Amino acid sequence: MVATAATSSFFPVPSPPGDAKSSKVGSGSASLGGIKSKSASSGALQVKANAQAPPKINGSPVGLTASVETAKKEDVVSSPAPRTFINQLPDWSMLLAAITTMFLAAEKQWMMLDWKPKRADMLIDPFGIGRIVQDGLVFSQNFSIRSYEIGADRTASIETLMNHLQETALNHVKTAGLLGDGFGSTPEMSKRNLIWVVTRMQILVDRYPTWGDVVHVDTWVSASGKNGMRRDWLVRDAKTGETLTRASSLWVMMNKVTRRLSKIPEDVRGEIEPYFLNSDPVVNEDSTKLPKLDDKTADYIRKGLTPRWNDLDVNQHVNNVKYIGWILESAPPPILESHELAAITLEYRRECGRDSVLQSLTAVSGAGIGNLGGPGKVECQHLLRHEDGAEIVRGRTEWRPKHANNFGMMGGQMPADESGA
């Protein structure tokens, strides 16, 4: 501090704003510890020592000497410790903390990859998209029934089961490497603006799963005539192997620009034929003709049904699953309360767009209109049409009393593995 004071007298430095009155930079005089500096007219600096002796208090000198001693004490106290090899080493604590964090994160990821079920009934891979079996001809996938997929009966709805069927069909095409730009279209189909459309669907439900159940879905495709394809599904309880649902469908190609049906081009046939499985339908085809309903023959009519934006698929027409919900809109409430859907057959006649206004018609047969809540089975005929009368879907449903002990009456089986594996 003494050296700083002496240097300041020769080379004045700016003072803080609070000392502006006692010191000026570049001119005037400054006083510090009894030392005065004055700038000469020639620009040289002259120093005068104060002739006054330092004052004493009780025989001890005060002033500059005391200040110097105090400064020396402060310098001793504030001086850093001597630099040694130890205190020159870097601070390893930050590096050690980073390494520990990385190790813990890696251990957590490894535990997730090496996860094993704690219960025997838990799936090892509950979030997988499925796998191809039987030499690539059958696709298998598991689904867990969620709480939001069950209805008032605490069982999965028919729409939930239909969504599982549709999901496995698309995942089958994707896993096989045949998914093009369209919704289930192969690359050659996408080049020609071709898409698959379903013409007929038949579903038999032996038992509905409930919340927490895990279902195992198998699906495969086969040829149907010269220009069609059949896709079958078999749904079983993943824990017991019990057959829950069997479904079969027929598909044809349509040009999504002209909206007209198309033959299967040879290039497309070459893509899909290697995946055809030569097997019988998992459901015996219902050859009974579906009658056309009108206002006179229908017992129940629901009007003013309109598609929402979320009802459309990527091909800009209403999803097939939505049709089932609209058909059941006109089903009699007594049947819904006392019976459950056991079988449904649908014939798709025309597509439905976003601006369509629809009507749902239902006619009851079997037990009769006056005994809908009875213990017997009930059969209904259905029609979904545009307001102008153009048919969209014809359907037939079969209903059985709820909690009837008739499950597994037509046990389905997967097609045999022709490779012998």
pLDDT at 342: 96
Give, for 395, the enclosing helix (H) or strand (E).
Answer: strand 391-401
Catalytic residues: 315, 317, 352
**d(C-alpha 96, C-alpha 116), whole Å:** 32
Closest CA to 416 of 137, 140, 174: 137
Minimum mean pLDDT range among 20-24, 202-206, 255-259: 20-24
Residue type, 205: V
Mean pLDDT of the chain: 77
Beta bridge partners of 154: none
Closest CA to 204 of 162, 156, 246, 233: 246
Q: Domain extents for the chain?
A: 121-285, 286-403
Give ∠ CA 313-319-324 in degrees, rounded to 5.
Answer: 165
pLDDT digits (tens, 9 = 90+) for 65-83: 444 455 445 444 455 566 6
**Dihedral pair phi/psi, residue 70, rounded to 5°:** -60, -40
Give how far Cα 161 sits from Cα of 143, 254, 335, Å: 10, 26, 20
Domains 121-285 and 286-403 share a fold: yes
What is the distance between the terminal CA atoms of the chain, rounded to a whole angstrom? 94
Residue 202: count other Cβ atoms within 10 Å of its Cβ: 22
pLDDT digits (tens, 9 = 90+) for 7-32: 444 344 444 444 444 434 344 444 43
DSSP symbols for 185-199: --HHHHHTTEEEEEE
* Local confidence band at 132 (pLDDT 50, 70, 90 cut-offs): confident
Token couple for 131: 């796998």
Write down the CATH number for the domain with range 286-403: 3.10.129.10
pLDDT at 25: 38
Helix locations, 63-114, DSSP H: 64-78, 93-113
CATH of 121-285, one of 3.10.129.10, 3.40.50.1820, 3.30.465.10, 3.30.40.10: 3.10.129.10
Contact assessment for residue 291 and residue 207, using Cβ atoms and an 8 Å cutoff: no
pLDDT digits (tens, 9 = 90+) for 208-234: 999 999 999 999 999 998 899 999 999
pLDDT at 110: 59
pLDDT at 259: 87
